[in-house]
Structure 1
Amino acid sequence: IAFSKIEKNKSFAKKFFHKYKIPTAPFGTYDKEAPAIEHARKAKYPLVIKFDSRSPGSGTIICESFNEAKNAITFCMNNLYKPIIIEDFIIGRHVTFHVITDGYNALPLSSAYVYKKSEEGNSGYLTEGMGASAPVSYLDEQLEEKIAHKIFFPLIDGLNSEKMSSCGVLKANIIIDDKDNPYLIGINVSFGDPEAQTILPLLNDDLFAVMYSASIGALSDDYEFLNLSEDHSVCVNLISSGYPNKFKKGQLIEGLDEIDDDSILIFHAATTKNIYEETLTNGGRVLSVVAKAATQHRARDLVYETIDLIRFDGMKYRKDIAKQRVLEEVKDIK
């Protein structure tokens, strides 16, 4: 339970990063409106406002002006979404990075890039993820080592110092600036979605065996490193029209029985069966379609060829996943 506090309590997490000298965006935490508005008045824009753990949705608002920030702060305070975090907007390339840890050692999985915005061209609503691709092309060995030494090592040491260490998965949301400096934006203590669907097909080791080894503190004894495929993986989420706001449920999904390819995986996120054993939609993010191939280009082609076989009323998806990725990464902040 203590381990999960670093994910659930954003203000605690930011103070934790600062205490253990983990690079993160400059920030302030506030539970009163007046000082928060004063911070916003003096800030440079864009500006990021994050709600704490009881918040709805993603809990993040990107404000382009003081008026937007002031309205967001007032909304948070009036609805008791506090304390809030106000942090600088860092321009850079986004990456999510997972490690498996036994509380003392950590082994990295593949890096991933998540497409958060609901519409093509990185526009629209901020969602939990419309798709992902792995590994991230610009993350070389030198940069991975920098992330390990500046983020994961002090993170695990800090958790031990606070008597919060545990075994399992750590997911770091990282921004890399134009000087290749990594900044930790947030941490999760579980696999991300859609990252899990994207990176786990690239793991050649038995996941259960790795997690069991972590659970008994034997990770460094059993594994020098994880055996990761050199393939690429692309995931596209099929969503119900209207997501992340209002959407219809109960739409008949057709075409799934036409898919017969070992390089394709279909993950059911929000589906159900009717009395005729037909598959129906049952939520916003309905299916994750994942393709694995020797190149990212081929994986992307495979995933969209597969999507062409699937049909349901109101089906939507982004058509630019794993396309012109670098252009999007420069604009992305979370």
Structure 2
Amino acid sequence: MNILILGGGGREHALAWAVLQNPKCDRLIMAPGNAGTRAIAENCDIDICDPPAVVALCETEAIDLVIVGPEAPLAAGVADELIAAGIPVFGPSAAAARLEASKAFTKEICDAVEAPTAGWARFTEAGPARDHVKARGAPIVVKADGLAAGKGVVVAMTEAEALEAVDAMFAGAHGTAGAEVVIEEFMAGEEASFFVLVDGETVLPVGTAQDHKRALEGDEGPNTGGMGAYTPAPVMTDAVTEAALERIVRPTMAEMARRGIPYRGVLYVGLMIGPDGAPRLVEYNVRFGDPECQAIMMRLGAQALDLCQAVAEGRLADMTVTWADDHAMTVVLAAEGYPGEYRKGTRIGGLEHLPESSHQMMFHAGTAEAGGAVVAAGGRVLSATGRGASLAEARDRAYALAEAVDWPEGRYRRDIGWRALK
């Protein structure tokens, strides 16, 4: 098979690594890819949010399957045009991708099926939103309605912080994504990431994880796109998993199909597990989480391609997921200053000496090549990922990779997995 993966982050490098474990993969193209994927695939620099350009590349290169990594191409309708051209694609239509592209749309779906989630209200002007915050008090959650590259959510622990977030969003801090704002009640509990595959009808669980959103140790500091993750998530017991499927996921998928927008792809189900053990929906994403994907792909390996192909071809009912009784962890190496201002172009050394195996992999995210060297080209730059019989073993392997990197301008949290390891 000739396979095209859209995206250039750590998630896409991990997907590429897993796909290449499968002998069905004859040729792999990454668009645009990064310095890490260049070593294992063919990088191609196209605009992945331009559907005709993606279709043209597929036709030129005789692509048999497209795997879409990030959410932006899906919201732009890439999957729609690929399907119209007869090219199998792993990823939902633009209409179905509204589960991530619009927080308000997701809330409306939840209300329609009575899926447990936070109370909410939508606003198009700052004044009424500010009045709502003052009436409700803090803690409270302020979200840009649209896609904001993982940066459009503020969990405000004070009223002042919430009002500042409202003003910033309506002032254009997140562009058009903040033209509408959703304000939610604060939910207490333990967060978990639950991933399911869907082919329009069948729902197949494909892994659980927990990530660390805060920038600093002890889960302190500003929110980020994710500083590390581990899988499986201990809080996702069989009972919690089944409750999430029956009360949240399956009703949502049935309602999407009823509306004529069946969902096909991977669905990220962000959950809050309350003190009573009952899951409530935090958010949906229409793609694998990053950095959760890096840890999950280490455990899935070659079967990831078979599962993606089955989703694209509507054969998910015939598939099962085989899990080893093991664990994986990924530790994100970020540029100093992230998620605020940070330098680009700093040189990263030591990568060529790192082990690469089914138990240890350094996945690239924000990297590029310059002058024969690998340099930082983003905020989250590398994902040191380890797999082991225990979470402690996976942690030790991940941190061994992180510590071997020569990058003075980078940093990483040293307590990933603390909740599960304590």
Matched residue, 2:255: 158
**What amino acid sits opposite 1:324 in the alignment?**
R
Question: CA shift at 1:57, angstroms?
Answer: 5.3
Q: Secondary structure at the match of 1:292?
A: strand
Matched residue, 1:45: 138
Q: Does the aligned pair in 2 maintain the 1:95–1:136 contact within 8 Å?
A: yes
Matched residue, 2:292: 195
Q: Tell me the TM-score normalized by structure 2.
A: 0.73
Q: Secondary structure at the match of 2:239?
A: helix
Q: Does the aligned pair in 2 maintain the 1:240–1:283 contact within 8 Å?
A: yes
Q: In the alignment, which of 336, 355, 368 is matched to residue 272 of structure 1?
A: 368
Matched residue, 1:111: 208
| Cα 1:56/1:299, change in 2 over 3 Å | closer
Question: CA shift at 1:204, angstroms?
Answer: 5.0
**Structure 1: runs of 5 or more not aligned:** 328-334
Matched residue, 2:164: 71
Q: Does the aligned pair in 2 maintain the 1:48–1:89 contact within 8 Å?
A: yes
Q: In the alignment, which of 293, 315, 329 is matched to residue 218 of structure 1?
A: 315
Q: Which moved more, 1:113-122 or 1:136-145?
A: 136-145
Question: CA shift at 1:157, angstroms?
Answer: 0.3
Matched residue, 1:100: 197
In structure 2, distance between residues paired with 1:125 and 1:63 = 11
Q: Tell me the TM-score normalized by structure 1.
A: 0.92
Q: Which moved more, 1:100-109 or 1:205-214?
A: 205-214
In structure 2, distance between residues paired with 1:323 and 1:21 = 34
In structure 2, distance between residues paired with 1:45 and 1:138 = 26
| Cα 1:76/1:204, change in 2 over 3 Å | closer
Structure 1 runs, 4 residues or longer, greater than 4 Å off: 54-57
Residue 58 in 1 paired to residue 151 in 2?
A: yes
Q: In the alignment, which of 301, 305, 313 is matched to residue 208 of structure 1?
A: 305
In structure 2, distance between residues paired with 1:55 and 1:282 = 19
After superposition, what is the alpha-carbon deviation per residue over 1:255-306, rounded to whole angstroms, capped at 9, x for unaligned? 122222521011110112223x222211111110100000001111111122
Question: CA shift at 1:194, angstroms?
Answer: 0.5
Question: CA shift at 1:76, angstroms?
Answer: 2.8
Matched residue, 1:330: none
Q: Which moved more, 1:314-323 or 1:258-267?
A: 258-267
| Cα 1:273/1:73, change in 2 over 3 Å | closer
**Structure 2: runs of 5 or more not aligned:** 1-93
**What amino acid sits opposite 1:274 in the alignment?**
A
Residue 295 in 1 paired to residue 390 in 2?
A: yes
Matched residues, percent identical? 29
After superposition, what is the alpha-carbon deviation per residue over 1:125-183, rounded to whole angstroms, capped at 9, x for unaligned? 10000010110112211111111101111111011011111321111111010011111
Q: Does the aligned pair in 2 maintain the 1:205–1:226 contact within 8 Å?
A: no
Q: Secondary structure at the match of 2:267?
A: strand
In structure 2, distance between residues paired with 1:168 and 1:66 = 38
In structure 2, distance between residues paired with 1:61 and 1:260 = 38
| Cα 1:130/1:149, change in 2 over 3 Å | same
Matched residue, 1:331: none
In structure 2, distance between residues paired with 1:267 and 1:69 = 35
Q: Does the aligned pair in 1 maintain the 2:355–2:361 contact within 8 Å?
A: no
**What amino acid sits opposite 1:121 in the alignment?**
G
Question: CA shift at 1:325, angstroms?
Answer: 4.3
The count of corresponding residues between Structure 1 and Structure 2 is: 324
In structure 2, distance between residues paired with 1:166 and 1:324 = 33
Q: In the alignment, which of 185, 193, 199 is matched to residue 282 of structure 2?
A: 185
**What amino acid sits opposite 1:49 in the alignment?**
V
